[in-house]
Structure 1
């Protein structure tokens, strides 16, 4: 099965650290807006509210949901989203900021075969709506 979102080992390590530190579930969201909205944001799950147009791309680090605003997803649905982490200035609302880290997305274009599989999933999701 083709995954629409995956995480690097460094990202998974930071995810586990954040879950342990906060003793809480976390969630990722990428809005596609300007500035901070162009990067994935990590929030405590009970402090984040999903919008009606947020799409679940999948789960990273086993059980952490990753959502993306529908307009950004429609623009980038031909790519696999790879969650990674870099050292940064630690600014913004994302909870990893206090650790001097920043999550980011790298992308890989799906092969024709992979996208055909993803397209089937998209068609099934549309039928459910």
Structure 2
């Protein structure tokens, strides 16, 4: 799993506004199938979710040298993961309005997932 450069830049900006962030992709209909970005802890995960990984935003250049790393956990519903488990995922961003619940919505952009089959 990785971030596109545009998604990384947007997440750094959003981190500056909202603090630590998290993603969840539910696999529901409409916007539910898109990755949703929330302030960390605003979406409660459960045993029905899978932590796919943590997306590294790098160190905050304006922060102290010993500051905690800026990582964004990416969760997906286990049911949705069953469909995506054989793919390599890239979090990207495009112009357009997504869900009003995701923190990037006021910016006039939305996150999306690009995938490709994993090769052995």
Gaps of 5+ in 1: 114-129
| 1:28-84 residue CA offsets vs partner (Å, 9 max, x unmatched) | 000000011110000011322112211010111341100000011111100011100
Find the residue that maps to 2:11 and give its secondary structure: helix
| Residue 46 (1) aligns with residue 41 (2) | yes
Equivalent residue in structure 2 for 1:32, among 2, 27, 30: 27
**Which residue of structure 1 lines up, in the alignment, with residue 90 of structure 2?**
82
3-state SS of paired residue (2:88): strand
Report how many aligned residue pairs link the two structures: 107
SS for the counterpart of 1:107 is strand
Q: TM-score, normalised by structure 1?
A: 0.79
SS at match of 1:102: strand
**C-alpha distance in 2 between matches for 1:35 and 1:89:** 12
Q: CA deviation at 1:91?
A: 4.3
Task: Report runs of 4+ in structure 1 exceeding 2 Å deviation.
Answer: 89-92
Output the aligned Cα RMSD: 1.2
Bigger helix fraction: 1
Task: Flag structure 2 segments of 5+ consecutive residues without an equivalent.
Answer: 58-70
